[in-house]
Amino acid sequence: MLEGKNFVYLATVNPDGTPQVTPTWVDTDGKFVLVNTAIGRVKHRNVKKNPNVALAITDQNNPYNLVVIRGKVVDQLTGHVADEHIDKMAKKYRGLDKYPNRSPGEQRVILKIEPTRVISR
């Protein structure tokens, strides 16, 4: 599911305790769930304060095929590795060699999520 062209819905916790959910591209290194975002976006700000997250993934070909993951952001990778990774995600999801939506001055970050509980149906 993580290696397929499926979107993940990433839930983080806002400073006031309310939930925040973002649909996003997803990847894995075989052990960790990887989500690439821009430094300063809501999900990035939230996990800096509270690293606990939840993710829901449905199979694009069968939405009844579901995986729910609870986990914790255990590392954040920036710089060249994050820039290369967002281009990899653009290739996976859109067939493009370069990520086309980068804003001027934008810095990318990979949120490295360690799963603590996985439920699948």
Q: Is residue 81 part of a domain?
A: yes
Q: Is residue 88 part of a domain?
A: yes
pLDDT for position 66: 94
Q: Is residue 3 part of a domain?
A: no
Supply the CATH number for residue 28's domain: 2.30.110.10
Return the bridge partners of 66, or none. Answer: 58
CA torsion angle 116 9 79 103 (round to 10): -170
Q: Give me the tens of pLDDT residue by residue for the chain, a chain 121 residues long.
A: 999 999 999 999 999 999 999 999 999 999 999 999 999 999 999 999 999 999 999 999 998 999 999 999 999 999 999 999 999 999 999 999 999 998 889 999 999 999 999 999 8
pLDDT for position 102: 87
Task: Provide the 3-class DSSP secondary structure of residue 32.
Answer: coil
Q: Is residue 63 part of a domain?
A: yes
Query: pTM of the predicted model, to two decimals?
Result: 0.94
Which residue range(s) make up the domain with 49? Answer: 8-119
pLDDT for position 96: 95
Q: Which residues contact 72 (CB under 8 A, 6 or more apart)?
A: 51, 52, 53, 113, 114, 116
Q: Is residue 1 part of a domain?
A: no
pLDDT for position 121: 84
Q: Is residue 60 part of a domain?
A: yes
Q: What whole-number distance in Å separates Cα of residue 90 and Cα of residue 25?
A: 9
Q: What whole-number distance in Å separates Cα of residue 20 and Cα of residue 32?
A: 21
Q: Is residue 2 part of a domain?
A: no
pLDDT for position 88: 97
Structure tokens at 53: 């997250």
The number of folded domains in the chain is 1
pLDDT for position 115: 98
Q: Is residue 84 part of a domain?
A: yes
pLDDT for position 87: 97
